[in-house]
Structure 1
Amino acid sequence: MAAYSAYVAVPTLPRLFLSKSAPLVDVGDRLRSHFKREDDTVIASLQPLLLASKTSLERSPSTSSFTNNFVPMTPLYDFLQSQVEGETEVVKTSRKPHHLTYRVEDFIQQAAYAHFLETGTLIPLKKLPKGVSDEEYLGGIMAFCNYDIQRYVVGRAIERDTSSVEICKGLVGEMFEKFSEFDFRNGPIRRKFDGIKYAVRKCENVLYELAVTERTKVEEAVEPAAKKQKSDPEAAASGDASFLDMSELAAIKTRYEGYDATRELVIKKCREIQKAAKNSIFAMHRGDLKKAKSLIETCETVGNEILVTIKDEPTLRQGSFSNSLEEYAEALLFWTWLDNGTVMTFDDFKKIEINEEEYLGGICDLSGEVGRVAVVYGTKRDQEGVQKCLDTNLSILIGLEGLYLPGKLSKKMDPLKQSVQKLETVLYELSLIQSKGGGFVNMSSAEAPKEEE
């Protein structure tokens, strides 16, 4: 067999689909390292701390203490403060990855419970690490109100401890009254706020049921001193009976309103970018590259204005502004591809600062526009033009494979794969037409979209 194989020439197989002129799409080491889940190791180190504190609260709530059990958790404190190194004293919105923000809210929820058991009041923001944002604080204390308080009320009701239930009712009642003054936009915070009224109703129902049944008061000695002060009528009359730090919550409300005003302004300006970017793409499909370039420059002007506006509120980049920059990236990528057949790299974006997610989102959307151009070529039986489009989309697919793409970016991979398969099918059908004598018409050089005079 070996002797026979020596006389058999091993064929060199041709490359499949990609031509020699296919553009190179390389996301580079910078983008590859950006999408590594390096913060997973941080979350893994936080989980045992959160689990230990939760176990302590569940097994022996009477001995749990915010001061003794939570403040010494220095790894979490140190990490939170490192997240805002160089920031101002107040952090309005979370600048951490979402899955890490959820863990911070879990910590605040447990810390609020421990602080309540120790003092009978709501934990103030100033007792938490500096790295905790307003939104994380609100989310954590609302979760404490909606879950821990309601469970605590039922537990104390089993022991016929009416005074503790009254304290809980006073706390959640004040929270609901104060937070009703906030203008929460739709989102997780709003949904958690809606749950507070059910906590108020739970406390009222339990107190009513205890009132209409025979009850026995728990001995005064088992009540924490702070709780007895809260239930003391004289303390309530003196005006020192608030369960919340009203001045701190008023400051959070003021910051929240200022943030929302800036957010509305940014959203309004983002529409200008999106409209200009979409009209630019429409102009390119019509062959009007001059108008398309002018609209792209409009995107850059408005985008840089917004960047100045959100300099002190970087989290406003998320959402509408980031989506509009993704549209801009798609338009500029498409214009460059039509102009010289190349795909811009991340470092080629000089006129306006975009981030890694916006660039990759624009590249994925570029494949859709390239696919539409391929359909035009296909209807004219222009095999060379279709091959050019397939080269681009397949190069994009190869360049992105192996990346961990979070959220909506991962959902864009399936349309990209489908576009590649569709163009491969179009090339196959064109080959069938040629085999039947239909022939090809090379329109790629003569009738490709070009700039109008």
Structure 2
Amino acid sequence: MEAADLDQINTLLDTDSELRERIKDQVNEFDKKTRLMVATLNKIHFTPPDTISALLDTVKSVIVGCQSVTKGLAEIVPPNQFWRWKDMWSNSLKTAVFASVLVEYLSSGQLAGLQQVSDQLGMREEWKDRVSLTVEDYLHGVISVVNELSRLAVNSVTLGNFDQPIKISHFVKELFAGFSMLNLKNDTLRRRFDSLKYDMKKIEEVVYDVSLRKLATVPIVPST
């Protein structure tokens, strides 16, 4: 191998190494924000319903803060290199999706869609070749929300909120029906979808107990 070729290779390696470190700095900042959101959202399991809105507002402000990270990544990642580097921030992004979707459900009872979450995290169409929210990452975040809601269904009863498990059950059943219509080719995603059956069973057990004791005030939708 010629000396000129070696020099060129070393230059490329140094450039890649420098770029990786710059991306890592942004990802570390992303991780800090997602850890804060998860820690804050964990409090929903022991926060009375009438004070939970303040907790959600705290998380919403952190979600907005994530926009600076996505902007930073868009400025660093070279054009058309999204798929080369996305794995570096994929876990952080899935967690941010989880937080965004969970906050929306707890605020409105609705599912935050892919575009809505993407907008909340500051993604822009012109950045899609550098940083964007993929369907797979969005779905992973949604599944994580169901995992968390199955836990919340149990803890809500402890707090005396007997209607919450039934509302959660309605929401999760609709989500499961939607997932069932998707052609999931990603093996990891498909396995995680299969795990939703266990979450649904856990929620249904709570709903059954609440129903048996006649504690709830909202109607229960029968299983289909």
CA distance in 1, matches of 2:19, 2:70: 15
The DSSP-based 3-state class of the residue aligned with 1:319 is: helix
CA distance in 2, matches of 1:381, 1:421: 21
Matches within 5 A, 1:15-414: 244=1, 247-284=4-41, 285=44, 286=47, 287=52, 288-312=55-79, 313-348=81-116, 349-350=118-119, 351-352=122-123, 353-380=132-159, 382-401=161-180, 402-414=182-194
What is the deviation of 1:419?
0.7
Q: Which one-letter code corresponds to 1:359 in the other structure?
A: Y
Q: Deviations over 1:41-67 (max 9, x none)?
A: xxxxxxxxxxxxxxxxxxxxxxxxxxx
Alpha-carbon contact 1:280-1:295 (below 8 Å) kept: yes
Change (3 A) 1:372 1:413: same
Q: Which one-letter code corresponds to 1:295 in the other structure?
A: V
Alpha-carbon contact 1:281-1:334 (below 8 Å) kept: no
What is the deviation of 1:388?
1.1
The runs of 5 or more residues in structure 2 that have no matched partner are 124-131, 219-224
CA distance in 2, matches of 1:268, 1:407: 30
- Does 2:199 correspond to 1:424? no
2:215 match: 440
Aligned residues: 195
CA distance in 2, matches of 1:317, 1:260: 12
CA distance in 2, matches of 1:250, 1:394: 59
1:138 match: none
Larger Rg: 1
Change (3 A) 1:245 1:391: farther
Change (3 A) 1:379 1:255: same
Q: Deviations over 1:211-230 (max 9, x none)?
A: xxxxxxxxxxxxxxxxxxxx
Q: TM-score, normalised by structure 1?
A: 0.40
Q: Which one-letter code corresponds to 1:426 in the other structure?
A: V
What is the deviation of 1:354?
1.3
Alpha-carbon contact 1:381-1:440 (below 8 Å) kept: no
The DSSP-based 3-state class of the residue aligned with 1:440 is: coil
Q: Deviations over 1:350-390 (max 9, x none)?
A: 23241212211111111122223212223246442101112
Q: Between the two structures, name the one with larger relative contact order (CA 8 Å, sep ≥ 6).
A: 2
Q: Greater share of helix residues, 1 or 2?
A: 2
Q: Which one-letter code corresponds to 2:78 in the other structure?
A: K
Change (3 A) 1:379 1:256: same
Q: Percent identity?
A: 21
Alpha-carbon contact 2:210-2:216 (below 8 Å) kept: no
Alpha-carbon contact 1:278-1:331 (below 8 Å) kept: no
What is the deviation of 1:442?
5.5
Change (3 A) 1:411 1:372: same
CA distance in 2, matches of 1:412, 1:250: 46
What is the deviation of 1:304?
1.6
CA distance in 2, matches of 1:311, 1:247: 25
CA distance in 1, matches of 2:153, 2:215: 15
CA distance in 2, matches of 1:266, 1:338: 32
Q: Deviations over 1:150-202 (max 9, x none)?
A: xxxxxxxxxxxxxxxxxxxxxxxxxxxxxxxxxxxxxxxxxxxxxxxxxxxxx
What is the deviation of 1:257?
2.3
Alpha-carbon contact 1:310-1:316 (below 8 Å) kept: no
Change (3 A) 1:291 1:382: closer
CA RMSD of aligned residues (A): 2.4
